[in-house]
A and B are shown apart, each in its own frame.
Chain A
Amino acid sequence: GAGVSQSPRYKVAKRGQDVALRCDPISGHVSLFWYQQALGQGPEFLTYFQNEAQLDKSGLPSDRFFAERPEGSVSTLKIQRTQQEDSAVYLCASSLEGRGGFVYEQYFGPGTRLTVT
């Protein structure tokens, strides 16, 4: 079946613009994660959803970052007033079960490469 898809694949924004990044997880997956991967670094956790509930947003770097998953499927990561340090690849991952389950694999999408000029 289809994997995790993300759009757009590439986004160029001028400093100060708002951007919205979309994630379509694997159908039926309960858990959804957002990660930020800077150039030459490993992914860093941003936020976690179990269905529509945002259970963990401890990794969001500032209040300019906002994520939602209103119907428990598609998720959007919004960055307001973008700064140059926001330039990175934003990865979305989904997993079949939620907390308390036994499924551990997170399936990653290809990412959205954001460049802030």
Chain B
Amino acid sequence: QKEVEQDPGPLSVPEGAIVSLNCTYSNSAFQYFMWYRQYSRKGPELLMYTYSSGNKEDGRFTAQVDKSSKYISLFIRDSQPSDSATYLCAMSAGGGADGLTFGKGTHLIIQP
């Protein structure tokens, strides 16, 4: 069993829908949780970052962490075709100078 599990999809939703993406993990030492977006043939770019449990909102994006269940989520409101990409969850026990453990990524398609 991998340390971080993520459904690879594809997940296809109509434009304007609310998208829910999630990951589960097994390592209770993870404290830092991130969501990256990766377009085809590009490097990942950081969308959201959360330390420990709780919620964080940034524009149309909301990240949630439930450490008791070892479950993290990313919600995208008012989804746009430009949101079509692969979304990777990532986590680490230390801060930014630790190597990240990534999920497999979920391929998201927003239909116009």
Q: Which A residues are within 8 Å of any B CB, using their own CB?
A: 4, 30-31, 33, 35, 40-46, 48, 50, 56, 58-59, 91, 93, 95-111
Contact = CB atoms under 8 A, between A and B. Distances in A.
What is the interface of chain B mostly: helix, strand, loop, or mixed? loop
A41 B104 contact: yes
Contacts of B96: 31, 95-97, 101-106
A21 B105 CA distance: 25
A82 B103 CA distance: 26
19 contacts: A31-B97, A35-B99, A40-B8, A41-B105, A42-B105, A43-B44, A44-B102, A46-B99, A91-B43, A95-B97, A97-B96, A99-B94, A100-B97, A102-B96, A103-B96, A104-B96, A108-B43, A108-B45, A109-B43
B41 interface: yes
